[in-house]
Homo-oligomer: A and B are copies of this chain.
Amino acid sequence: MLLTRSRVLLSEFIGTMFLLIGVMGSGIMAERLSPSDSGLQLLQNAAATTGVLIAIISIFGTISADFNPAVTVASWLLGYRQRSEIIPIVIVQIIGGCVGTVLANIMFDLDWFQLSEKTRSGANLWLAEVVATVGLLLVVFSLLRTKRSNHIPYVVGAYIGAAYYFTSSTSFANPSVSVARMLSDTFAGIKPSSVPMFILMQIFGLFLAAWVIRFLFSKPLVD
């Protein structure tokens, strides 16, 4: 039991760490190598994020692979986790994400501690975070409820890679990631003052998604 709990927390830690290494590191790399076209930067950032999501959800999927407080809370609301699990998992996700950003800074020879200056604010970006979060949770829980969890790594990867493009906020859709992305003043960073509204919108999306998922998938379906 204690072993299981430790494994869950270690999985969430390493997984969220790798997620942020992937998001921030590929953003820095793309910004450096393709300075003249920001679309090309986002394409490289989105492709690398898709790849790292496929990897980390595959690695930790049989233990615990939320890497996202919105997913963890929805898991509780939809009956996949106990309430007592939430707080420790979310703490570990935030720490893991911050460690990941710092590692990305170090790997790319930047100051290990930084704060982003990139403002991401406005009603249209907030709407985008609601849309992005609803879509992400629909992917995860539709597959879980219909016993197709082996597809989750690929579909989440494809969804987020696309959502980087089809949402004006480039789809954070994850409170831990939103916090951790403050810590690097590079391509994928976000100014601390922009984070609270992003998280609020993600929480709003979470409740909206839970409502839709309950209506559409009220009883487990077979594939």
- Give A contacts to B, CB under 8 Å: 7, 10-11, 14, 18, 21-26, 29-30, 32-34, 36-52, 54-55, 58-60, 62-63, 103-104, 106-109, 122, 124-125, 127-128, 131, 135, 138-139, 142-143, 146, 148, 150-151, 153-155, 157-159, 161-168, 212, 215-216, 221, 223
CB contact between A104 and one of B24, B142, B166 (< 8 Å): that residue: B166
Copy total for this chain = 4
Cβ of A39 and Cβ of B41 under 8 Å apart? yes
Cβ of B29 and Cβ of A165 under 8 Å apart? yes
The 3 A-B residue pairs whose C-beta atoms are closest, nearest first, are A51-B162, A34-B39, A25-B166
CB contact between A107 and one of B109, B127, B221 (< 8 Å): that residue: B127
B-side contacts of A165, CB under 8 Å: 22, 25-26, 29-30, 44-45, 47-48
Tell me, rounded to whole Å, the shortest Cβ–Cβ distance linking A172 to chain B: 14
A127 to B221 CA separation, bound complex (whole angstroms): 41
Cβ of A108 and Cβ of B124 under 8 Å apart? yes
Tell me, rounded to whole Å, the shortest Cβ–Cβ distance linking A198 to chain B: 14
B-side contacts of A138, CB under 8 Å: 14, 59
B-side contacts of A45, CB under 8 Å: 165
A162 to B142 CA separation, bound complex (whole angstroms): 26
User: Can you list 14 A-B pairs, Cβ within 8 angstroms, ordered by A?
Assistant: A22-B165, A33-B42, A40-B40, A47-B162, A51-B158, A54-B159, A55-B135, A55-B139, A62-B142, A106-B124, A107-B127, A107-B167, A109-B168, A153-B155
Cβ of B52 and Cβ of A166 under 8 Å apart? yes
CB contact between A26 and one of B10, B54, B157, B162 (< 8 Å): that residue: B162
Interface centre among A34, A39, A143 (most CB of B within 10 A): A39
A45 and chain B: residue at smallest CB distance: B165
